[in-house]
């Protein structure tokens, strides 16, 4: 009888601290052994990884499975992108119960998801939902998102309830996540400029300036500091936003920051060219902002790259301000981040492993079960061929969204095989598992 169930042989194992040629032996659901020359006769199956990179399974910790991709569909498009673990936002809209929403997402995910998943609570009705936080945390959900914008939609959490929620989270070992834009000021600017004649695309960018993102981040950090609450700032977009994050890091505050490939690669030119398709919140900025975000990643000020996958059914001729925010992006997370970051010399391959695997796993308490290649860790692995080209097209994407913002982009490097808990999920262009085998992951916060 073979000693191991599977052996991945001859690949370059990528960790946050270095790259080494190692064989990875798997027994059951975990990594059993790492060595330079394991005999294939010791394994039932051998996978040749020569010339390939072996990443810890990629985590996408920012997805919205409530639009044209549900929990099952999101896991499919993510799996084709080399992702092995997801953390979704369970949005409790105004009038909904937070605990009931989380339970529904958990049950649906266990039925439909191909990938292991966790949940963030999404709070839209703070006066009624904040009090549900302690009970929701008992369900394995310990990170909660608050909108500092969208007052017109009645989704905004004001400073009173943001402070109350952060205080409650601090007392119970939770984490606050913020969408940081100064909502009331943005609403005023919209009311002012929409009365004037002008291209709606330009009005959108004028009314969502980078200064109001930076202000909201500073305010969120300040409130979190006075109540001693860990903070995670989602989808950072702008150079101006980095200063308060850097100051928090220098002060040793438990503040984490995330950006997304769209903010690292695309600019407001996409808004002008594609209209509503490129309407995302916060908005796309400038090339200088792209560069500043990459520098913040290199410095360690930004910890995570995640997708903010929010696929909507939009067309270029939609009314811009009536069109919803969001774009499909989980399937392109790894490929675009590698192509723009590593291939263009902005970061090295180890940094990529940190921001896509190790750091999100650490922040959300899943490390070293997830996000690590070490003995005893889950056998969650992403094999990546750095020499295999890919031209991104909506026709070959697996989201139900009718477009991709990366249409026609040629990338060098793509995932070719993924494994979760010892099972092969993706082999080239074939998914090999069915819904129903995913695990729900309880999140514990690493301060």
Max Cα distance, the chain (Å): 77
DSSP element (H, E) containing 434:
none
Alpha-carbon separation of residue 342 from 75, 180, 307 (angstroms): 26, 28, 17
Q: Which residue has the tokens 């996408």?
A: 60
Same domain, 166 and 262: yes
Cα(306)–Cα(293) distance, rounded to whole angstroms?
Answer: 13
State percent of the chain over pLDDT 70. 100
Answer whether residue 236 shows pLDDT above 70: yes
Q: Which residue has the tokens 């030119």?
A: 269
In a domain, residue 437? The reply is no
pLDDT digits 0-9 by tens, 294-335: 999 999 999 999 999 999 999 999 999 899 999 999 999 999
Same domain, 63 and 112: yes
pLDDT digits 0-9 by tens, 177-220: 999 999 999 999 999 998 887 889 999 999 999 999 999 999 99
Alpha-carbon separation of residue 20 from 10, 36, 143, 232, 252 (angstroms): 10, 9, 34, 32, 32
In a domain, residue 368? The reply is no
- Average pLDDT for 133-160: 96
pLDDT of 194: 84
Same domain, 181 and 96: yes
pLDDT digits 0-9 by tens, 176-187: 999 999 999 999
CATH assignment at residue 393:
2.30.40.10
CB 281 within 8 A of CB 149: yes
Among residues 254, 201, 202, 193, the alpha carbon closest in space to that of 229 is found at 254
Same domain, 264 and 387: no
Question: Total domain count for the chain?
Answer: 2
Phi-psi region of 139 (alpha: psi -120 to 50; beta: other; left: phi over 0): alpha
pLDDT of 447: 55
In a domain, residue 84? The reply is yes
Same domain, 66 and 128: yes
Same domain, 12 and 102: no
CB 124 within 8 A of CB 87: no
Cα(278)–Cα(176) distance, rounded to whole angstroms?
Answer: 27
Same domain, 331 and 306: yes
pLDDT digits 0-9 by tens, 348-371: 999 999 999 999 999 999 999 999
User: Of 306, 331, 363, which residue sits at a domain end?
Assistant: 363
CB 33 within 8 A of CB 375: yes
CB 183 within 8 A of CB 155: no
Same domain, 282 and 425: no
């Amino acid at each position: 009888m073979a000693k191991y169930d599977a052996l991945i042989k001859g690949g370059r194992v990528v960790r946050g601290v270095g790259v080494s040629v190692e064989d990875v032996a798997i027994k059951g659901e975990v990594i059993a052994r790492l060595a330079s020359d394991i005999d294939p006769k010791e394994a039932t199956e051998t996978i040749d990884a020569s010339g390939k990179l072996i990443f810890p399974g990629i985590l996408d910790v920012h997805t919205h499975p409530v639009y044209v991709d549900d929990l099952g569909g999101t896991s499919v498009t993510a799996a084709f992108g080399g992702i092995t673990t997801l953390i979704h936002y369970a949005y409790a809209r105004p009038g909904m119960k937070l605990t009931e929403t989380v339970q529904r997402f958990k049950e649906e995910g266990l039925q439909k998801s191909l990938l292991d998943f966790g949940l963030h609570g999404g709070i839209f009705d703070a006066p009624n939902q904040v009090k549900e936080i302690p009970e929701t945390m008992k369900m394995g959900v310990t990170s909660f998102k608050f909108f500092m914008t969208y007052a017109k939609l009645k989704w905004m959490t004001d400073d009173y309830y943001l402070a109350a929620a952060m205080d409650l989270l601090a007392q119970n070992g939770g984490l606050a996540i913020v969408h940081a834009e100064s909502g009331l000021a943005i609403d005023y600017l919209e009311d002012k400029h929409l009365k004037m004649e002008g291209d709606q695309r330009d009005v959108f960018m004028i009314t969502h300036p980078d200064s109001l993102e930076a202000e909201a981040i500073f305010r969120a950090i300040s409130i979190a500091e006075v109540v001693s609450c860990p903070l995670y700032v989602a989808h950072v977009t702008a150079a101006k936003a980095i200063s308060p994050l850097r100051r928090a890091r220098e002060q040793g505050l438990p503040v984490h920051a995330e950006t997304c490939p769209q903010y690292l690669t695309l600019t407001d030119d996409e808004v002008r060219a594609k209209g509503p398709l490129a309407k995302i919140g916060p908005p796309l900025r400038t090339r200088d902002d792209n560069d500043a975000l990459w520098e913040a990643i290199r410095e360690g000020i930004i910890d995570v790259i995640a997708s903010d996958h929010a696929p909507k059914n939009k067309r270029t001729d939609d009314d811009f301000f009536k069109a919803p925010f969001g774009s499909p992006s989980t399937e392109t997370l790894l490929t675009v981040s590698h192509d723009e970051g590593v291939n263009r010399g902005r970061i090295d391959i180890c940094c990529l492993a940190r921001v896509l695997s190790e750091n999100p796993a650490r922040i959300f308490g899943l490390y070293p079960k997830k996000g690590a290649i070490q003995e005893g860790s889950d056998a969650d692995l992403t094999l990546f061929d750095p020499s295999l080209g890919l031209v991104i097209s909506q026709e070959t994407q697996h989201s139900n969204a009718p477009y991709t913002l990366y249409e026609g982009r040629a990338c060098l490097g793509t995932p070719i095989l993924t494994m979760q808990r010892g099972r092969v999920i993706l082999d080239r262009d074939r998914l090999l598992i069915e819904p129903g085998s995913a695990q729900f992951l309880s999140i514990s916060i690493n301060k």
